[in-house]
Amino acid sequence: MHNKSMMKKLLRLEETVIESISFEMGKTDEVLVVNARPKSRETNRCPKCNRRCPGYDSVEKLRRWRGLDLGVYKVYIESLAPRVKCKNHGILVAKVPWARHGSKHTRDFEETVTWFTLRATMQDVSEYFRIKWDTVDSMVRRVQQEIEHNSPSPFDNLEEIGIDETSYKKGHKYMTVIINHKTGDLIWAKKGHGKAILSAFFEELTEEQRANIKYVTADGARWIASCVEKYCPKAKRCIDPFHVVSWANESLDEVRKQTAREAKKQLVKKAAESAESKPSKKKKKTQKFENMLC
């Protein structure tokens, strides 16, 4: 296989033509530079709407995007990326197939970093990939926005939801979370708890989406009941199994404590009665001396 074809396959450069491959000295060590360009049908496209647009700059600027490392070498995709003028989005850098708009890293690099952030600390990820920690944060945000934009709404076909509040960090800090019981996915979360916070969730839903909700599980809080009655009057309220088991355990624990207290009282009472019924040693000696005198 030709070197360029192999590199294209290794870096998953689709809709791309590789012009050259070279090594050069970076700031601290040697790096691999892949000079590439989009195929002709992918040039001069708006990065937001993907439409073909007229060019804006007469002089094209050479730009670089960091790719996934190959062994110990950092990899950079280098290409001329002119600016285009979109009638809907204005003047922007032309779209390239291998990276998201506004990023200096390839799609594969950002998605790999995002996957690692779910399993390691941001500091560990930044050290492993040799990037700044705030760069990690911006990558995760871009990937998240793309996923949310391309994914169907989490509120579609919503029939069974669970509502609860949970604490986070230290102190009395709470957030309200809502899950889809059918999929088990978290579909909404917001800092705080109470009627105003829960109302904000229902306000995000359309009338059809609210009418589609059939079952709502939650604890016995009155503010949840009033919200559900207001926004989903036809939905059936159910006490979720977690709180049923929790309340049952609390009740059993209270019965156990009460039974232990009653048993302790009975033991103390019996001990007192037993002590009164038996004469003390001093009384026994006095009684024996009196009997001898008689």
**What is the residue extent of each domain of the chain?**
1-98, 105-151, 160-239
What pairing do the DSSP bridges indicate for beta strands 160-167 and 215-218?
Answer: parallel
Question: What local confidence, expressed as pLDDT, does residue 4 receive?
Answer: 86
Could you count the other beta carbons within 10 Å of the beta carbon of residue 118? Answer: 8
Digit-coded pLDDT (tens) for 166-198: 887 776 788 999 999 998 888 999 998 889 999
How far is Cα 186 from Cα 243, in angstroms, rounded to an integer?
19
How far is Cα 241 from Cα 255, in angstroms, rounded to an integer?
21
pLDDT tens across the length of the chain (294 residues): 578 888 989 999 989 999 999 999 988 889 999 999 999 999 999 999 999 999 888 777 899 999 999 999 999 999 988 899 999 999 999 999 999 999 999 999 999 999 999 899 888 999 999 999 889 999 999 998 888 888 788 888 899 999 988 887 776 788 999 999 998 888 999 998 889 999 999 999 999 999 999 999 988 788 888 999 999 999 998 877 777 788 788 889 999 999 988 888 888 888 777 777 665 555 555 565 555 555
Q: Which residue has the tokens 């509040």?
A: 165
CATH architecture, range 160-239: 2-Layer Sandwich (3.30)
Digit-coded pLDDT (tens) for 125-174: 999 999 998 899 999 999 988 888 887 888 888 999 999 888 877 767 88
Question: What local confidence, expressed as pLDDT, does residue 110 receive?
Answer: 95
Structural tokens at position 249: 């355990």
**Which has the closest alpha carbon to 61: 49, 79, 77, 45?**
79
**Which has the closest alpha carbon to 135: 92, 102, 182?**
102
Question: What local confidence, expressed as pLDDT, does residue 127 receive?
Answer: 92
Question: What local confidence, expressed as pLDDT, does residue 279 receive?
Answer: 58
Distance of CA 250 to the CA centre of its chain: 31
How far is Cα 155 from Cα 212, in angstroms, rounded to an integer?
10
Phi–psi pair at 37, nearest 5 degrees: -150, 150
Runs of H (alpha helix) within the chain: 3-10, 107-117, 122-129, 133-150, 195-204, 207-212, 222-231, 241-277, 281-293
Report the predicted TM-score, pTM, of the whole model to 2 decimal places: 0.62
